[in-house]
């Protein structure tokens, strides 16, 4: 009789998937070996292959599982949100919590980008288009300046946040003055919002 709920201690297959996700995110595909995955998951190397056929397809399974697990967390299409302030806060808050809560996904996406993997991150494109649409609508309502393309406005917003996380450690080590990482995130959020509200606002 199958138990529909997640088991308390993960099955062998689950343990492998989890260990693989960690290791791929730390070291990338080429930098990770099946033995490492076996060791960290407490399973044997042959079991890894038994469950997933090949290293390559395990990698795909990891990505698929991430997408399945987190696509629900992607910024929701909160249609009622209006106004530059609302759109900005909504988008920024969603991205911040997204990046904060999914460190392995962020890293794997970065590896995948370098490796030339341009598929599979399915939801992302929809997500972009949805926000582009929101920005366009706000422009029509006169809430966002309309001399900037909505596509590029979105990149400016998301780019700053993306880079903040991509070089998080690097920046805190090198340049930041704040005490704790959390405080640094807060400050960045605050300053970025201030710049964007004014930079994207209407009027001249």
Partner DNA sequence: GTCTATATCCAGATAGAC
Partner DNA sequence: GTCTATCTGGATATAGAC
Task: Give the residues lining the site for its own copies (CB under 8 A).
Answer: 27-31, 107, 110-111, 113-115, 118, 125, 128-129, 132, 147-149, 151-153, 155-156, 158-160, 162-164, 166-167, 169-171, 173-177, 187-188, 191-192, 194-201, 204
Judged by CB under 7 A, the number of residues near DNA is: 18
- Using a CB cutoff of 8 Å and minimum separation of 24, what contacts does 194-200 make? 196/88, 196/156, 196/157, 197/84, 197/85, 197/88, 200/84, 200/88, 200/144, 200/145, 200/148, 200/153
User: What is the spatial distance between Cα 21 and Cα 44, in angstroms, rounded to a whole number?
Assistant: 17
Nearer to DNA, 46 or 101 (CB): 46
User: What is the spatial distance between Cα 156 and Cα 151, in angstroms, rounded to a whole number?
Assistant: 9
Contact characters 12-41, DNA, x per CB under 7 A: xx------------------xxxx------
> Does 56 engage in binding with DNA (CB under 7 A)?
yes
Residue 77 Cβ vs its own copies, minimum distance, rounded to whole Å: 17
Kindly tell me which residue out of 3, 23, 26, 53 binds DNA, with binding defined by CB under 7 A.
Answer: 53
Chain residues in the site for DNA (CB under 7 A): 11-13, 32-35, 43-47, 49-50, 53-56
């Amino acid at each position: 009789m199958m138990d529909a709920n997640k088991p308390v201690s993960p099955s062998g297959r689950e343990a492998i998937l989890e260990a693989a996700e960690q290791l791929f995110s730390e070291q990338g595909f080429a930098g990770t070996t099946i033995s490492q995955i076996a060791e960290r998951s407490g399973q044997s190397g042959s079991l890894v292959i038994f469950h997933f056929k090949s290293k390559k397809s395990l990698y795909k399974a990891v990505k698929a599982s991430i997408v399945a697990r987190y696509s629900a967390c992607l910024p929701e299409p909160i249609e009622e949100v209006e106004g530059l302030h609302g759109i900005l806060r909504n988008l920024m808050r969603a991205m911040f919590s997204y990046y904060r809560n999914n460190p392995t996904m962020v890293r794997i996406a970065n590896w995948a980008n370098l490796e030339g993997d341009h598929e599979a991150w399915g939801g992302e494109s929809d997500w972009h288009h949805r926000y582009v649409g929101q920005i366009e609508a706000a422009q029509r309502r006169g809430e966002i300046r309309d001399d900037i393309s909505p596509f590029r406005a979105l990149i400016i917003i998301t780019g700053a946040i993306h880079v903040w996380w991509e070089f998080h450690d690097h920046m805190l080590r090198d340049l930041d003055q704040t005490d704790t990482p959390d405080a640094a995130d807060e400050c960045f959020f605050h300053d970025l919002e201030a710049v964007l509200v004014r930079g994207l606002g209407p009027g001249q």
